[in-house]
Chain A
Amino acid sequence: MRRRLRRRFEPYILPRQNRAICEDPARLGKDGAAATGLMSLRGENGRVPLYRDEAVVLRTQKLGEADRIVTLLTRRHGRVRAVAKGVRRTASRFGARVEPFSHVDLLMYEGRELDVVTQAETIEPYGERIASDYGRYTAGTAVLETAERLTAEEREPSLRLFLLVVGALRALAEETHTPSLVLDAFILRAMSISGYEPALDSCSRCGAVGPHRFFAVAAGGMVCAEHRPGGAVTVSPAATALLVALLDGDWTVADAGEPRTQREVSGLVAAYLQWQLERGLRSLRLVERG
Chain B
Amino acid sequence: MYEGAVQDLIDELGRLPGVGPKSAQRIAFHLLAADPVDVRRLVTALTEVKERVRFCSVCGNVTEEEQCKICRDPRRDVAVICVVEEPKDVVAIEKTREFHGRYHVLGGAISPIEGIGPDDLRIRELMSRLADDTITELILATDPNLEGEATATYLARLVKPMNIRVTRLASGLPVGGDLEYADEVTLGRAFEGRRLLDV
Contact = CB atoms under 8 A, between A and B. Distances in A.
Given A138-B112, A286-B112, A131 B178 contact: no
A94 B176 contact: yes
B191 to A, nearest CB: 15
Interface stretch (A17-25, A45-53, A198-206, A255-263): A17-25
Interface in B149-169: 149-150, 153-154, 157
Contacts of A98: 176
Contacts of B177: 87-90, 92, 95
B154 A134 contact: yes
Interface stretch (B17-25, B57-65, B124-132): B17-25
Interface residues of A, number: 42
A4 B181 CA distance: 43
B182 interface: yes
A59 interface: yes
Contacts of A142: 112
Interface residues of B, number: 30
B21 A19 contact: yes
Contacts of B46: none
A125 B186 CA distance: 24
Nearest to A66: B181
Contact of A283 (B113, B146, B149, B174): B113
A91 B113 CA distance: 27
Contacts, number: 94
Contact of B182 (A90, A101, A137): A90
B147 to A, nearest CB: 8
* Interface-central residue, A22, A138, A287, by most chain B CB under 10 Å: A138
B153 A96 contact: no
A145 interface: yes
Interface in B105-159: 110, 112-115, 117, 145-146, 149-150, 153-154, 157
Given A20-B20, A134-B153, A144 B186 contact: no
Contacts of B31: none
A262 B181 CA distance: 43
A65 B176 contact: no
Given A96-B174, A283-B113, A283-B115, A16 B21 contact: yes
Contacts of A96: 145, 174-176
A145 B112 CA distance: 9
Given A87-B176, A90-B174, A283 B112 contact: yes
Given A92-B174, A283-B112, A286-B117, A131 B181 contact: no
Contact of A131 (B20, B117, B146, B182): B146
Contact of A23 (B23, B154, B176): B23
A97 interface: yes
Given A88-B178, A96-B176, A98-B176, A23 B20 contact: yes
A97 B150 contact: no
A141 B149 CA distance: 14
Contacts of A133: 153, 199
Contacts of A131: 146, 149-150, 153
Nearest to B172: A90
A252 interface: no
14 contacts: A19-B21, A20-B21, A22-B20, A23-B21, A62-B17, A87-B177, A92-B174, A96-B174, A99-B175, A100-B146, A144-B113, A145-B113, A282-B112, A286-B115
